[in-house]
Amino acid sequence: MKKKLVSLILVNVAIYALAVFIELNFLYSDEMYFRSFNGRLTDQELSDLIQFDRSTEWLNYLFILPYMAGIILFTLLTIWIGTFFSSGEKRIKYIMTSAAEAHIVFSLSYLILIVIKIFILKPQMMDIENSDFQSILWLFKNQNLPLVLLNILKFVTITQLCYIFLLTWRLFKNGQLKFIKYLKITILSYYSSLLLLVVLLSLSDIIFN
């Protein structure tokens, strides 16, 4: 169990590291900087900005493990609560394994999105983090929506749908309940909790800003 878990984590870390490397060297290219800031910064200011960003690139790799751990632990906690209240099940190890197995969706999605942005979208600096094109928000991009609803729609994505179904499948293969039971638990416990968290963060942003 431990060896499998470590192997899953290492595979995901390797994919994330590759994606970050490609992102920093090909997406955040000098050309992109010039395209985004040409006419807004002098040549010297632009050169200093690029040099500073390049000198701090290594910090991005340090966030890979905490990012993974946060998602896996959030999934573990919400699914365990869901299985406990729906069936009284207290086992936790298979949920951890299932969450680690399903996490491949996020690492591969990150890599694919980077490639799409490099070869198809070619965004400017201010649009690089925008991945709305893979969410249901894309259907409402020209509409003026409340901030809370806008943030909820951002999380209804192809990636999340794939994660929900793969997580459900791995729970079904590793656990003892029926597939449809795990699907209900995943949607009601994990996904609902995620959307609730998005709503709370959106409301706090409105209140304090």
Hunting for tokens 């942005």 — which residue is that?
117
pLDDT score of 209? 66
Above 80 in pLDDT, residue 133?
Answer: no
Above 70 in pLDDT, residue 1?
Answer: no
Which of 192, 109, 198 is closest to 149 using CA atoms? 198
Query: Of residues 138 and 6, which shows the higher confidence score?
Result: 6
58-86: average pLDDT: 96
pLDDT score of 127? 76
Above 80 in pLDDT, residue 208?
Answer: no
pTM of the model: 0.90
Above 90 in pLDDT, residue 158?
Answer: yes
Hunting for tokens 């490397």 — which residue is that?
21
Rounded Cα–Cα distance for residues 115 and 122 (Å) = 10
Amino acid at 27: L
